[in-house]
Amino acid sequence: MSSDFRRACVSGGAGFIGSHLVRALLARGLEVVVLDDLSVGRAENVPAGARLVRGDVLDADAARDAASGCDVVFHLAARVAIRSSFEFAVKDARVNFVGTASMLRAAHAAGGVRRFVGTSSMAVYADAPSPDPIPETHPTAPISPYGISKLGAEQLVHTLGGQAGFSTAVLRLFNTYGTGQALSPYVGVVTIFANALLRGEAPSIFGDGEQRRDFVHVEDVVRAFLGALDAPVAGETFNVGTGVATSVNEVFAAVRAALGSTIEARPAPAVTGEVRYSIADIGKARRLLGYRPMRRFADSIGEVVAEIRAADQPS
């Protein structure tokens, strides 16, 4: 277990996944410091008991302040969007790649950090030929600037982290969904679909909608992070998903049914930079992290849509 670790730094801890992780770490009895510039995350997402350092990962002083006294760093801060990464390639590279280098250097300068867990994405992979689970050995040939920046960041974690004496782990997250996900035009298809239907609008489905993804609940993603905290691993990279393929059309049908809507989706051209098939082989995470996803998409989509509906109601 993680009793050996006392204090954690979570960059991006005011965001969707980060805030769930912070709550889990606090429940474990760890002290937690959050580093977040609040450009996407919200201060109210940071649970009571965690300290918030408002700052950018590129700010060496803020990053070092957040990492000071910590023995483990979870680095989640990033720009997360495939479609917009073509337009914002420079900003993505700066935050995702240079920001990771900055956080690693800050962790080393702070002293005391022994483990560094980085966050990556299924976007680092080449497209798969079929909707079958792909292992970590699948070719890493990203087709978007976002995927390129995340692949480079992975390599930085293992190279600079190893040089600094950290035990490192990188988690390649597949399509994460769950309660507390903010609306974005680029990320979180469940949230995008639900909000459009609640507004009485027809959401867009890009391409034929038969592209298949691995939708993993944020609670299961947190289980993987805790596994990376507990397991004696170093220099390892892991897929985090469910191994189950779900089409975009199936996601839309589930969201529409949960809302009782009859609105049809609008077809739109396929998006450059998005792969057709992306499903995780989670065998390695099962073996080395003890990772066991517990939340099935079909069983949990109702509660996610219910939260979005409740937030849409006037107060």
**Closest of 69, 65, 55 to residue 12, by C-alpha:** 55
Pairing of strands 236-240, 51-54: unpaired
Sequence-ordered list of residues with C-beta below 8 angstroms from that of 135, at least 6 positions apart, any chain: 239, 281, 283, 284
> Hey, what amino acid is at 277?
Y
The active-site residue out of 125, 146, 177, 277 is 146
d(CA 237, CA 136): 7
**Contact call for residues 150 and 124 (beta carbons, < 8 A):** yes
The verdict on whether 186 is a catalytic residue reads no
d(CA 240, CA 233): 16
Element holding 177 (H helix, E strand): strand 175-177
Distances in whole angstroms, Cα of residue 141 to Cα of each of 44, 92, 123, 190, 225:
38, 17, 9, 27, 25
**Contact call for residues 14 and 31 (beta carbons, < 8 A):** no
Q: What is the DSSP string of 20-38?
A: HHHHHHHHTT-EEEEEE--
Which three-class secondary structure state does DSSP give residue 311? helix
DSSP at 245: -
DSSP at 270: P
Sequence-ordered list of residues with C-beta below 8 angstroms from that of 197, at least 6 positions apart, any chain: 203, 255, 256, 259, 261, 263
**Neighbouring C-beta atoms of residue 210, cutoff 10 Å:** 13
Q: Which two tokens stand for residue 172?
A: 């390649």
Sequence-ordered list of residues with C-beta below 8 angstroms from that of 314, at least 6 positions apart, any chain: none
Residues with catalytic annotation? 146
